[in-house]
Amino acid sequence: MSKFPLELKLLTQADLSSILELDRACFGGLWTLESYQRELDSANSVLLGLHSPLLPVKLVAMGCFWSILEEAHITILAVHPRYQRQGLGQAMLYSLLKTAWERGSERATLEVRVSNQAAISLYQKFGFKTAGRRRRYYKDNNEDALILWLEKMQSPKFQQILVQLHALVCDRLNNFCWSLVNI
Ligand SMILES: CC(C)(COP(=O)(O)OP(=O)(O)OC[C@H]1O[C@@H](n2cnc3c(N)ncnc32)[C@H](O)[C@@H]1OP(=O)(O)O)[C@@H](O)C(=O)NCCC(=O)NCCS
């Protein structure tokens, strides 16, 4: 069976329209062009994307984190609705954590809507633990956010976990006819 090559890339100015397209498809317009531009311009922000040259959709997934001191604050994780539940979300999260680990991050954190069971389940699968709750954090519907943390990322144990996660990511993608080029 033929496979779709999947490439991880550091997103740049040239990807801005594809980024906005994916944002609209996943969130209905969460961040503006100016917000993404700021991320691309910031030395503390890492914006990664997954793309496959053979697909009509230019960007199938993206993720972003801020690297501040020893913390990686994950701010975006999104998979195009057409390609969800095929392992791309975990491939993207793995890539964010691996990149944060390479940059020396000790821990990762993020906020997630309490109703977003798909994302919560994904983060839990990767070892994130709930540390608290921000009441009415999301202004559009006054929904609470859960605050999740992943600790001890520079420990030898986490290095082993990354190896296991890599195998998990590759397996799932293979089952859905994706072939990883550079993850
Ligand atoms: C959350 C999101 C990134 C998951 O991406 P995905 O490619 O569909 O996820 P994967 O196929 O890689 O699934 C990995 C794990 O995520 C969880 N998951 C994903 N979709 C799920 C669903 N519909 N219900 C329950 N768990 C789900 C599961 O734990 C799954 O592991 P499993 O298949 O072994 O059970 C995707 O649904 C998305 O982009 N949602 C909209 C944007 C968003 O909410 N982003 C998160 C903001 S914090």
Distance CA 42, CA 103 (A): 15
Q: Half-sphere exposure of residue 48, counting CA atoms within 13 Å on the CB side?
A: 24
What's the CATH number where 26 sits? 3.40.630.30
| Domain-embedded: residue 127 | no
Which residue's alpha carbon is at the smallest distance from atom 18 of ligand 1? 118
- Is 111 catalytic? The answer is yes
Tell me the per-residue pLDDT of 64-109, one tens digit each, with 9 for 90 and over.
999 999 999 999 999 999 999 999 999 999 999 999 999 999 999 9
The helices-and-strands tally (H runs, E runs) of the chain is: 5, 8
| Domain-embedded: residue 126 | no
CB distance 99 to 130 below 8 Å: no
Question: Which residue segment(s) compose the domain that 38 sits in?
Answer: 4-112+152-182
Question: Phi, psi (5° rounding) for residue 107?
Answer: -150, 155
**pTM for the whole thing?**
0.97
Number of domains present in the structure of the chain:
1
Tell me the per-residue pLDDT of 32-50, one tens digit each, with 9 for 90 and over.
999 999 999 999 999 999 9
| Domain-embedded: residue 134 | no
Q: State whether the Cα torsion 77-80-85-88 is positive or negative.
A: negative
| Domain-embedded: residue 125 | no
Tell me the per-residue pLDDT of 2-26, one tens digit each, with 9 for 90 and over.
789 999 999 999 999 999 999 999 9
Q: Which of 130, 135, 167 is nearest to 147 (CA)?
A: 130
Q: Considering 111, 137, 143, 151, which one is annotated as catalytic?
A: 111
Pocket test for ligand 1, best of 79, 130, 174 (most atoms within 8 A of CB): 79
Tell me the per-residue pLDDT of 98-152, one tens digit each, with 9 for 90 and over.
999 999 999 999 999 999 999 999 999 999 999 999 999 999 999 999 999 999 9
Is pLDDT at 1 greater than 70 in this prediction?
no
Distance CA 69, CA 162 (A): 21
